[in-house]
Structure 1
């Protein structure tokens, strides 16, 4: 069995690869860099997962230099046809995950990239490969309350970030493709993925680790240098619009990868199946802000429903804490009934995320020597 995987060197993709390698078969990883430099990057990402990999890794995995944003994935027509004919499964995990990147960049990578990956599946002669598309639970967009069903996909509430809009559009592309070709597509919608494992230098980071690393740099700078008019050494309270009871769905990457592979090796029950890879218990945003205060004690971020628009300094500080600020009014829940039914108890629910876990997740890359700007 040959699996084609995009995003193998990313945070989720590397965990997916580790779990795929527990099963028989070969993997062709579509990467931006091949050769020895590409292998170093892939092995670094795999090492950071903490998962074992086979001794014959380089015999079972082939690195294929490609670009999902390009037609034919940047491959020659001959190689594109050959790969399409060889693939038994295609996993599309690669994405631009910058929440506030320019819309045209997000569309090029997340929307057109999905279209190009599906074009590979369509080019397969005879039977077509199994298709697994990694989306996000945040395609729910601007819906702030209620319970989001796993088969729900609409844009009536708008979107909180351009990233969400791009992933919504990518799912629309996948649904249209599935109906046009009468071929199943499995869509996996994870929450915000994280781990409490320390991340070595150069390893892919999750959003909380990135925010923690930036905050650790910020903590070493005096607020008076960043905020004109602030006395040296003084604490600074940043009030941002939001509800004190707002929640965010955080999920352990180890659980998400295990469940994803488990789901993908069962027969699809519908033309398009969507599953929420989410934690059964949402995390209060206030818990995350409390951990952030521990990393950068002089910065006290508070949720205030009456807070006005942020000034330039406030906007810059909000950028440091990552994408959490976009969801500070969200109270919605994610239905997981289809996920539970499909798993049939094969994988127990993830453990609760306590204060110790959250602290470790935010500090996962704090000791990294990689340059981090604020």
Structure 2
């Protein structure tokens, strides 16, 4: 019996794979074909992070090329059935986190993809369990107060299509689990950032995406000023929940081991938020830009500001968030897991850094 995983070569997925193979658990990656082969990506990541595994990687890791946007993940009916019947556990991690307006792509990947993965999961043995990586941002436009796991089912207003798609996918998972009498664990991480073993060549994450947009703006801008000023709508009292990806992956693995029945939803978040002012300061430390916070986006944006607002449209609403997340379930299930280190300004500088090879 094996553990199947979609999205195993993404920013979170690589850390989840590492958690499993380091524990000697066989993993079959349901990987999207194209680019660097999935096995090679995992091997490079494990080498770069100095991760020991108990036996040769090719005994613990196998790869099946799929496309979650297609029925049966693009597999033949026979191949899908054989693969599913050998599964003890299926982790659905694959998702599009694009925040710049490619709404059709996001919906196809996150909603249609989840529908197809669930149809594949129908073929698994009755005792097999399902793990779905969602996001804490299914809470949508609720910008203040405490967000509890059970409070978001009726959410109808969202900051971007990504949130809406992940909220819809959660609903699909819960409905499937209850209709099929299956166990499903819905995991809701907040904004994932690199941890202690930051690898510069790791896949894109949200803060690096923002930094990359800034880098492009500075390349395009023609100004003699030492710093380029960008006006943005923001609440100076706002704060965001950022959690280290390695800590989140460990928490998810442990939750997966301890939740084997029912349909359970758990926030996987940091116990301390990061002020937006600290995030802004770290960004300014690593680039020649200054963010000027205003009560709302400027009504007369410069061309540069318009470009920034368009490219970062999905992220900018978070600069008004002052909410926090209930973690009572995660703390109850994982009383022995130490809290993650504080995400401070120095840590954020490393998160925003864009490697020279990525700037080329």
TM over 0.5: yes
- C-alpha distance in structure 2 between counterparts of 1:282 and 1:57, whole Å: 37
Q: Conserved in 1, the CA contact under 8 Å of 2:100 and 2:313? A: no
After superposition, what is the alpha-carbon deviation per residue over 1:266-306, rounded to whole angstroms, capped at 9, x for unaligned?
1446x321111001111111111111111222x21122114
C-alpha displacement at 1:210, in angstroms?
A: 3.0
Identify the residue that residue 146 of structure 2 maps to in structure 1. Answer: 147
TM-score of the aligned structures, taking structure 1 as reference length: 0.88
Q: Conserved in 1, the CA contact under 8 Å of 2:4 and 2:28? A: yes
Q: Aligned residues, how many?
A: 358
Note the 1:219-298 alignment, pairs <5 A.
219=218, 221=219, 223-224=221-222, 231-233=223-225, 235-268=227-260, 271-297=262-288
Identify the residue that residue 179 of structure 1 maps to in structure 2. Answer: 178
Identify the residue that residue 58 of structure 1 maps to in structure 2. Answer: 58
Q: Provide the secondary structure at the position in 2 that maps to 1:21.
A: helix
Identify the residue that residue 25 of structure 1 maps to in structure 2. Answer: 25
Q: Provide the secondary structure at the position in 1 that maps to 2:150.
A: coil
C-alpha displacement at 1:216, in angstroms?
A: 4.5
Q: Conserved in 2, the CA contact under 8 Å of 1:132 and 1:264? A: yes
Q: Conserved in 2, the CA contact under 8 Å of 1:14 and 1:45? A: yes
- C-alpha distance in structure 1 between counterparts of 2:343 and 2:20, whole Å: 26
CA shift in 2, pair 1:320/1:101, >3 Å: closer
Q: In terms of mean alpha carbon deviation, does 131-140 or 25-34 score higher? A: 25-34
Q: Conserved in 1, the CA contact under 8 Å of 2:69 and 2:108? A: yes
- C-alpha distance in structure 2 between counterparts of 1:36 and 1:91, whole Å: 22
After superposition, what is the alpha-carbon deviation per residue over 1:140-174, rounded to whole angstroms, capped at 9, x for unaligned?
01101110002222354500011000000000100
CA shift in 2, pair 1:60/1:295, >3 Å: same
Match of 1:352 among 334, 337, 342: 342
Q: Conserved in 2, the CA contact under 8 Å of 1:143 and 1:157? A: no
Give 5+ residue unaligned stretches, structure 2.
Answer: none
- C-alpha distance in structure 2 between counterparts of 1:133 and 1:283, whole Å: 26
Match of 1:301 among 265, 278, 291: 291
TM-score of the aligned structures, taking structure 2 as reference length: 0.92
C-alpha displacement at 1:246, in angstroms?
A: 0.9
Identify the residue that residue 106 of structure 2 maps to in structure 1. Answer: 106
Q: Provide the secondary structure at the position in 2 that maps to 1:88.
A: strand
Is 1:367 matched up with 2:355? yes
Identify the residue that residue 118 of structure 1 maps to in structure 2. Answer: 118
- C-alpha distance in structure 2 between counterparts of 1:93 and 1:356, whole Å: 29
Q: Conserved in 1, the CA contact under 8 Å of 2:6 and 2:94? A: yes
Identify the residue that residue 227 of structure 1 maps to in structure 2. Answer: none
CA shift in 2, pair 1:244/1:136, >3 Å: same
Note the 1:76-115 alignment, pairs <5 A.
76-115=76-115
After superposition, what is the alpha-carbon deviation per residue over 1:350-373, rounded to whole angstroms, capped at 9, x for unaligned?
11111111111212xx2240356x
CA shift in 2, pair 1:307/1:119, >3 Å: closer
- C-alpha distance in structure 2 between counterparts of 1:194 and 1:252, whole Å: 5
Q: In terms of mean alpha carbon deviation, does 6-15 or 95-104 score higher? A: 95-104
Q: Conserved in 2, the CA contact under 8 Å of 1:188 and 1:260? A: yes
Q: Provide the secondary structure at the position in 2 that maps to 1:167.
A: helix
- C-alpha distance in structure 2 between counterparts of 1:210 and 1:51, whole Å: 26
Identify the residue that residue 228 of structure 1 maps to in structure 2. Answer: none
- C-alpha distance in structure 1 between counterparts of 2:312 and 2:51, whole Å: 29
RMSD, aligned α-carbons: 2.3
- C-alpha distance in structure 2 between counterparts of 1:35 and 1:293, whole Å: 33
CA shift in 2, pair 1:61/1:306, >3 Å: closer
CA shift in 2, pair 1:262/1:354, >3 Å: same
Identify the residue that residue 192 of structure 2 maps to in structure 1. Answer: 193
CA shift in 2, pair 1:45/1:33, >3 Å: farther
